[in-house]
Amino acid sequence: MAASSNRIMLGPLVAAIDQGTSSTRFLVFNAKTAELLSHHQVEIKQSFPKEGWVEEDPKEILQSVYECMDRTCEKLTQLNIDVSNIKAVGVTNQRETTLVWDKQTGEPLYNAIVWLDLRTQSTVERLINKTPGKNKNHLKDKTGLPISTYFSAVKLRWLMDNVEKVHEAVLSHRAMFGTVDSWLIWCLTGGKNGGVHCTDVTNASRTMLFNIHTMDWDPELCIYFDIPMGILPKVRSSSEIYGLMKISSKLKSGPLTGVPISGCLGDQSAALVGQMCFKDGQAKNTYGTGCFLLKNVGTKPVMSDHGLLTTVAYKLGRDKPACYALEGSVAIAGAVVRWLKDNLGIIQTSTELEKLAADVGTSYGCYFVPAFSGLYAPYWEPSARGIICGLTQFTNRSHLAFAALEAVCFQTREILDAMNQDSGINLSQLQVDGGMTSNRLLMQLQADILCIPVVKPSMPETTALGAAMAAGAAEGVSVWSLNPEDLTEVTSEKFEPQINPEAESELRYARWKKAVQRAMNWETIEPVNSGNEDTSIFSSVPLGFYILGSMFMLIGAKYIAGQKLA
């Protein structure tokens, strides 16, 4: 209601489309104060056609954006806020999720393959086995990434190899590839009628086709994956005018027609900007479907020796330098809550998890490694699978709820340790954001397990805020200043560690590491063969003797039987 009474003094507004793995949101901010004025959210359905497969409907994603824009514009009107004050729109999105569509019809050629999807595991294992020394980091010097199911190139390769519509469209030069940002920007700027096919450097850097040094698609990488460069979107900076919105006048969001889309950042980069981590050494951790810790390392990429990714953090203008980040990526964070609710049915709502866990205040020796999609940083082990261990007759659903929250915190501890080792400088506190940060027990557990304070901003929508900042600051828009002296100071809440770091915290962490080892090498598509070791059955001496002995016994038995018959 405060927004209504101050409407005359609001000045320019900037909106953000936040398209995540589990939901879509449209949010509108005051460009001068960074105040969130209104927003709307729509859940996104995920489908699991086969074990390890995760898909979403590109049309549903697009429709959810239109619905969120319509409802938010409706809410603004109810608050007597003029929608025409929106001067720019930014886009932030789930990264790596891969789409291919027909540029002539505008129709998707297959469902979006979500970043969590594991169907490319056999492809990844074959690629690694072909590299010198079977090295998963074979492409890291150019891409900053290991060869993994996580990234877009192998998903695109799978689509070209296994979906006839995609194969035909590529051959007939009708196919367009993009991550979610590209799909949305193309559709919202006209689609088949002149839509802009582009992406930004942060999203491009998550494909394994992008050279993080030249800041463009790499011909050698495209040859390596056998992907034609003609289907790739044009790479742009994270803050510039890409095109103008074209919305049907029949929709409540129709007044947004002609508003520039001028900001684009992958969700984790957007959160880094929204947390205002513009200085070398500043870091944030986002707790969403997965968990992502990013640390700004400045204008020169730093390669990790401890399993972290080197990624593009942002490039806030065509003529501005790119900044890089070290990233620790965890596949399953908030997704474990959804699994406990939808698959096991032990909770009805996500808020119930906090109450269950708080009732017992301990996992009672139960450890949960939610490696549903393998393990990401720092292990990059696609063959790992989820396990729950340390169970006793005393263990109940409350202990499992507590173990699930601890699992998120332990995974963050692992990537923070790796980041401290790479940088040689320990973080003194951790800035956090994302949906799970509303769980106060989780935040306290995180501080206890890291043994450093955890700082949560009072305005949790930092991902959308980052996209809005990039859009509002773009040349030709210039309604949002990113000068340090102009940035609004963020109010926050701090969670201090409350347990003895040398005793309980380290003991729990050591047991977690033990549980992780139990989860390793659970599911392999191809036989594991490290180096030049003999993988035949006779490489095991006891097994070899057993099989040879059995063969001789069978031959002997047949010989004796033959003698008796004779």
**Mean local confidence (pLDDT), 117-144:** 89
Structure tokens belonging to residue 530: 């490290």
Q: What is the pLDDT of residue 562?
A: 52
- How do strand 175-178 and strand 99-102 relate by DSSP bridges? antiparallel
Q: At CA 264, angle to CA 261 and CA 269, rounded to 5?
A: 155
Residues 6+ apart with CB under 8 A from 251: 66, 69, 70
Q: What is the pLDDT of residue 525?
A: 54
Q: What is the pLDDT of residue 564?
A: 46
Binning pLDDT at 50, 70 and 90, where does residue 524 land? low
Model pLDDT for residues 403-431, shown as the tens digit of each residue = 999 999 999 999 998 988 887 778 888 89
Q: Give the number of other Cβ atoms within 10 Å of residue 223's Cβ.
A: 11
DSSP 299: S
Q: What is the pLDDT of residue 8?
A: 46
Q: What is the pLDDT of residue 531?
A: 42
Segments in 163-209 forming alpha helices (H):
164-171, 180-188, 201-204
Mean pLDDT over each residue of the chain, to the nearest integer: 86
Q: Give the number of other Cβ atoms within 10 Å of residue 343's Cβ.
A: 9
433 forms bridges with which residues in the sheet?
286
Q: What is the pLDDT of residue 544?
A: 47
Structure tokens belonging to residue 529: 């063969």
**CA 345 → CA 338, 350, 353, 358, distances in Å?**
9, 11, 11, 18
Residue with tokens 């319509």: 70
Asked if the bond preceding 378 is cis, omega within 30° of 0, the reply is: yes
CB–CB of 314/238 below 8 Å?
Answer: yes
Model pLDDT for residues 196-224, shown as the tens digit of each residue = 999 999 999 999 999 999 999 999 999 99
- pLDDT tops 90 at residue 142: yes
- pLDDT tops 50 at residue 150: yes
State the Cα–Cα distance between residues 184 and 197, nearest whole angstrom.
Answer: 9
State the Cα–Cα distance between residues 349 and 343, nearest whole angstrom.
Answer: 13
Structure tokens belonging to residue 70: 């319509």
Q: At CA 265, angle to CA 277 and CA 113, rounded to 5?
A: 130
Q: What is the pLDDT of residue 539?
A: 38
DSSP string computed for 448-462: HHHTS-EEEESS--H
- pLDDT tops 50 at residue 527: no
Q: Which helix (H) or strand (E) holds 36?
A: strand 36-43
Q: How far does CA 261 lie from the centroid of its chain?
A: 23
**Mean local confidence (pLDDT), 367-387:** 88
CA atoms within 13 A on the CB side of 150: 27
User: In this structure, what is the dihedral angle of CA atoms 148, 149, 155, 158, given to the nearest 10 degrees?
Assistant: 100
pTM here is 0.82
Model pLDDT for residues 475-497, shown as the tens digit of each residue = 999 899 888 777 766 678 899 98
**Mean local confidence (pLDDT), 336-346:** 87
DSSP 308: -
State the Cα–Cα distance between residues 64 and 85, nearest whole angstrom.
Answer: 23
Q: Torsions phi, psi of 368, nearest 5?
A: -125, 115
Model pLDDT for residues 154-211, shown as the tens digit of each residue = 999 999 999 999 999 999 999 999 999 999 999 999 999 999 999 999 999 999 999 9
Q: Which of 164-173, 289-298, 451-460, 499-508 has the lowest mean pLDDT?
A: 499-508
Q: Torsions phi, psi of 387, nearest 5?
A: -140, 150
Model pLDDT for residues 36-45, shown as the tens digit of each residue = 999 999 999 9
Please give the residue that has the higher pLDDT: either 530 or 163. 163
Binning pLDDT at 50, 70 and 90, where does residue 49 land? very high
